[in-house]
A and B are shown apart, each in its own frame.
Chain A
Amino acid sequence: MKKDRPDIDRLKGIAREIRIDILKMLALAGSGHTGGSLSMVEILVGLYFYKFRCNPERPFCNTRDIFVLSKGHGCPALYAILAHMNFFKKEELFTLRKLGTRLQGHPQIGLPGIEASTGSLGQGLSIANGYALSARLDKDDRRIYCLMGDGELDEGQIWEAALTSSHYKLDNLCGIVDYNKFQIDGRLEEVKNLAPLDEKWRAFGWYVIEIDGHNLEEIMDAYDKAETLKGRPTVILAHTIKGKGVSFFENQNRYHGVAPTKEELEKALKELESNK
């Protein structure tokens, strides 16, 4: 089902605002994952502001689609999106990682819009499979999305789950890999080589769509295409840049698990503002 496409410039503006929110949240929290939050922004913007069926006023309505963030450490990006969609008030974003917050360091159910608690890597795709199988059992046409990091594909459970998805021909499931080519210890090929990633997913029985994970047209095309592919699950390999949007964070892996300092935040905000 093809929907009217939102205006690309509007989406780009949203992506910029999301990045600003992410950086402010992280700087205020004083810790968190900058690089992997910034790399997944367009993936989420293209999903939530175009394809995804949900109702922030009724977060548990039966007809909603499901999004599972398997790479839980990227939650600042998801929190910013959910606040932008009015799942909760934007002010709450700035309670990230503080005692008593609903915005835990890694996502926790209970915050409207969060469909699974994650953070220990490799667990989200299995949960997404459970959602997808259950939807099929209930003859429910909801679609299930699961965003994985590339580093977390080292986890064996992902590949157990990938077999399950294809065994059960879960075409209501769309996996997305934020393929930013880095993990904590360094480049994927240095830490544990993942290539050729497309062949791996194909060999596991998946349709594979490869895109530029920062190109919103390509992202929306991919979500549309995934919905039309039947008989197998689809994975979107979204080639991204870790730390995308702020020149001095891009491909700088030391910002994997480090929040911006006050100075870095100011410099980053200036750069994002000037790119309007």
Chain B
Amino acid sequence: MSLEMKATRDGFGEGLLELAKKRDDIVVLSADLTESTRAHWFKEKYPERFFSMGVSEQDMIGTAAGFALSGKVAFACSFGAFASGRAWDQIRVSVAYMNLDVKIVGTHGGISVGEDGPTHQAIEEVGLMRILPNMTVVVPCDAIEAKKATIKSAYRKGPVYLRLGRAKEPIVTKEEDFFEIGKANILREGSDLAIIANGHEVYEALVAADILLKEGVRARVINMHTVKPIDKEVILKAARDTGAIVTAEEHTVLGGLGSAVSEVVVKECPVPIEFIGVKDRFGESGAPAELFELFGLTARHIVEAAKVVLKRKTF
């Protein structure tokens, strides 16, 4: 596996530039975090289409809605904690309800934001966004995928939430890999169990699969980059083929990927599931690696969960 490292927010910044080259209906709004979100590359190149909104996330979302109502595709950028929760009612009423082309970009998602601590560690936003009608939620696993997701989101009708990270992540996909919003990618075949992951946890899942393979366990690794609309087909096939699932997300286990997968599985093919994620608690300050260990989000934790779920298998 390549160990090239790059942050998903960088992929977003590049994707935005590529989009802007092709389309003049793209506008970008930022709530005073322009460089941090990597919207500044767009700002430097297309200043007339960039709008500084100050630390006003609610107003930013509403303004983006006005742009979208005027026929633009508006990217609204902030940290995930603020882009989602702080402006949730604006996203609900001014964006999702009208099914507008507002693409909400939440960088610094998850606990990998590290030292800034719990106020800045967005671990609820996938759930917050997923429950809104019309909303699409994408959690890219690396910078390459984030760039593709950014570009594709502009061509998708309606609101999209892009969950991105600050930290440099291992690159696990390739430029030429197929990417479509709503279509999961199977990264590793296997029939003993399935590990369904997104964001940073895709990398951890791949490492976990390597460890498991050495012990004779073949794990299917699924990159479920789109949490909504979720790829039911891939989930159900995994449930039927393997009979056991581990979900892994850098997010609270309540309401995010694990919940979305469960909703599909319990209805059509109930199999045991173990959930890797933050266990209903707030984050805390620390180095990202320390936090992944503390919250149980490493490959080792996925391996342990896999062993538990294998014991629970019924077929």
List A residues at the B interface (Cβ < 8 Å).
108-109, 115-120, 122-135, 137-138, 156-157, 160-161, 163-164, 167-168
Contact = CB atoms under 8 A, between A and B. Distances in A.
Nearest to A164: B59
Interface in B155-184: none
Contacts of B66: 116, 126-134
Interface stretch (B3-11, B93-101, B248-256, B262-270): B93-101
B79 interface: no
Contact of A130 (B48, B56, B68, B97): B68
A133 B74 CA distance: 12
B49 interface: yes
A130 B93 contact: no
B89 A120 contact: yes
A160 B98 contact: no
The listed residue with most A CB atoms (<10 A of its CB), out of B64, B92, B98, is: B98
A160 B49 contact: no
B70 A126 contact: no
Contact of B27 (A126, A129, A137): A137
Nearest to B63: A130
Interface string B109-153: 000000000000000000000000000000000000000000000
Contact of B58 (A126, A134, A138): A126
Interface string B48-72: 1101011010111111111111111
Contact of B69 (A108, A120, A125, A131): A131
Contact of B62 (A126, A134, A138, A167): A126
Given A109-B98, A161-B59, A134 B72 contact: yes
A118 B90 CA distance: 10
The listed residue with most B CB atoms (<10 A of its CB), out of A127, A128, A132, is: A127
A125 B66 CA distance: 9
Nearest to B67: A130
A127 B53 contact: no
A116 B94 CA distance: 8
A118 B70 CA distance: 16
Contact of B90 (A126, A133, A167): A126
Nearest 6 A/B pairs, CB to CB: A130-B66, A126-B62, A134-B70, A160-B59, A160-B56, A130-B63
Given A116-B69, A137-B27, A161 B97 contact: no
B58 A130 contact: no
B62 A157 contact: yes
Given A131-B70, A134-B72, A160-B59, A116 B49 contact: no
Contacts of B71: 134
